[in-house]
Amino acid sequence: MSAAPRDELKWLTRRPIAHRGLHDMNKKVWENTLPAFSAAIAGNYAIECDVHLTKDGEVIVFHDDVLDRLAGREGRICDLTLAEAQALTIGTTQDHAPSLRQMLDLVAGRVPLVIELKGIEGQDEGLVAAVAKELKDYQGEAAIMSFDHHLIRRFRSDAPGVAAGLTAEGTSAADMEKHFAMLAHDVDFVSYNFHHLPNPFISFFRTVLNRPVITWTVRSAEEKAVSDMHAQQITFEGFIPDSVIA
């Protein structure tokens, strides 16, 4: 495995990453909605978002497996078609859950994207390929990542050429063992829970492999200062950091 710098990923750490868009902690502007993404673009922030596979094999921007917190109804997102998922209104707003295509059309390369794939094992066959299909002709900087190891194992085969990362947390020896095992899949970057830094995995990834680390989810300038000691960039919500960091 090469330890050479991945210069092509410098865009990933150039500016703070708005967690699920630049929302206001779900008061008036809710997470993973087009208004939250528009606000992030206006602030010159990169955007992190979450996607699921729909019943008909399309990609919807939505965080949770179940619908109650965000859409106020029972059910699972994977049991809906794309049209049904897009019909959901989010929280107290009249904003709808967007498809990944709608989001890409809105962003249009103006800021970088970090797309987290949310797996439901047994219900997500084809998710990686479906996201890669949407990104194939996208004229902008975009990466994919996931907590779900069964999805990461498909990144190189189903999304070749797309920057791909491991989303992770934990400090135990078992956690470290699991994370090191994923290096066999040649992940380009890691997004780590900043509360769990430093740790041997992140130190190895940054210093030996010389690959970028971003963190989640930073909610204050004080937390950012902690994250900055161990990672190159933050994923944030609930406060406004400087939009561009050299």
**Residues catalogued as catalytic:** 19, 63
Question: Side-chain half-sphere of 195: how many Cα atoms within 13 Å?
Answer: 6
Q: How many residues does the chain have?
A: 246
E strand or H helix that includes residue 104: helix 100-107
165 touches 128 (CB < 8 A): no
E strand or H helix that includes residue 190: strand 189-193
The Cα 101–Cα 25 span in angstroms is 24
Helices vs. strands in the chain: H and E counts, helices first: 10, 9
